[in-house]
A and B are shown apart, each in its own frame.
Chain A
Amino acid sequence: GENVEQHPSTLSVQEGDSAVIKCTYSDSASNYFPWYKQELGKGPQLIIDIRSNVGEKKDQRIAVTLNKTAKHFSLHITETQPEDSAVYFCAASIKDAGGTSYGKLTFGQGTILTVHP
């Protein structure tokens, strides 16, 4: 099955700096890669996603890049703010024997991001 590795497990940056979180996946058939932000005691919130037919996607201060050949994708947050502090999870779609995923995801281990004022 799919295996997703996420690094680093913790990341501490100063306000205004950039933060980068990286994930690798094992199943070359995966074609959907979302990123979630989870605050303490809450459910994950989708912040950005990318499909395998796209190499990069940007939404204001957040961007995601995908390298299909190397099977890795990264989250980039620029001009970080204290409110960006949270746990971030990457995920990759899981496909069944018929090649359909129906939204089933494998999650990375999570990265605790701390942005210091």
Chain B
Amino acid sequence: GAVVSQHPSWVICKSGTSVKIECRSLDFQATTMFWYRQFPKQSLMLMATSNEGSKATYEQGVEKDKFLINHASLTLSTLTVTSAHPEDSSFYICSARAGWATTNEKLFFGSGTQLSVL
């Protein structure tokens, strides 16, 4: 099946620093990638939709200047948490949609990144 690789799997950083998380589709081209945030024992909360070659679309309440998303190629999207603070500590997950057809809605998820901001 389709594989989505997400790195790093965990990261600890100091408050005020920036952290970059990568999401790669290994065996397919991902026209659209999604970024989610998940708090312990809670559901996935969609943060933004990333389309290759265009600006990301952010969900209401998500600060686009804090969570920078870049989708420069059909196999790579990055999420940069800028000037991280302890409240940004969370599990971040990406997913990728394969193909160009609007009827293709299958999503494949990365393994997630646990961010801890000290």
Q: Name A's B-contacting residues (CB within 8 A).
A: 32, 34, 36, 41-46, 49, 89, 93, 100-105, 107-110
> CB distance A42 to B107 under 8 Å?
no
> CB distance A103 to B43 under 8 Å?
no
Q: Name B's A-contacting residues (CB within 8 A).
A: 4, 6, 32, 34, 41-44, 46, 49, 93, 95, 97, 102, 104-112, 114
Q: How distant is B105 from chain A, measured CB to nearest CB, in Å?
A: 5
- Which secondary structure dominates where chain B touches chain A? strand
> CB distance A109 to B102 under 8 Å?
no
Find chain B residues with CB under 8 A from A107 CB.
43-44
> CB distance B44 to A89 under 8 Å?
yes
Q: List 29 A-B contacts (CB under 8 A).
A: A34-B105, A34-B106, A42-B111, A42-B112, A43-B93, A43-B111, A43-B112, A44-B93, A44-B95, A46-B106, A46-B109, A49-B106, A89-B43, A100-B102, A101-B102, A101-B105, A102-B102, A103-B34, A103-B95, A103-B105, A103-B107, A104-B34, A104-B46, A104-B49, A105-B46, A108-B43, A109-B43, A110-B42, A110-B43
